[in-house]
Amino acid sequence: NDKQVVLRFVREQVDPTLDDDIIKKTMADEKLRPVSRAEFQDYYRKVLKGKRPKTPLVMFGNYGRGPSERGSFAGVMYLDIDGEVKVYENWTRGSSGKDWDADWEFLLAPVA
């Protein structure tokens, strides 16, 4: 299945902070699932064609460890605007470890 979906959440003033729970609910409502690392690499190679994304592109549901010099904290993997795969560590994502700043996009795939 080569289909993928890029989601961008636009927060209105009355909306709560975007967090993992909102993304998971959206995934369930829209029948989406996390992309695999291979699907993520295919998206980078075939759709972005190796170009840098305009905003960080999150592989939601795919976890890794950050750099050892920062303590190797666990977090969600993403493609940064320099075209490098990095880890957005849980401790950097708000007090609960699940909050997202504005200007992030999420790469997901339809449930087959």
pLDDT of residue 55: 92
Q: Tell me which residue of 27, 80, 29 sits closest to 58, measured CA to CA.
A: 80
Percent of the chain residues topping a pLDDT of 70: 98
Of 45, 44, 33, the C-alpha closest to 7 is: 33
Q: Report pTM.
A: 0.86
112 band by pLDDT with thresholds 50, 70 and 90: confident
Alpha-carbon distance of 60 to 70, in angstroms, equals 21
Rounded mean pLDDT, 81-106: 89
Distance CA 107, CA 19 (A): 15
pLDDT of 32 reads 96
Q: How confident is the model at residue 69 (pLDDT cuts 50, 70, 90)?
A: confident
**Residue 15: helix, strand or coil by DSSP?**
coil
Work out the pLDDT band at 91, boundaries 50, 70, 90.
confident
> CA-CA distance, 57 to 30, in Å (whole number)?
19
CA separation for the pair 112, 96 (Å, rounded):
32
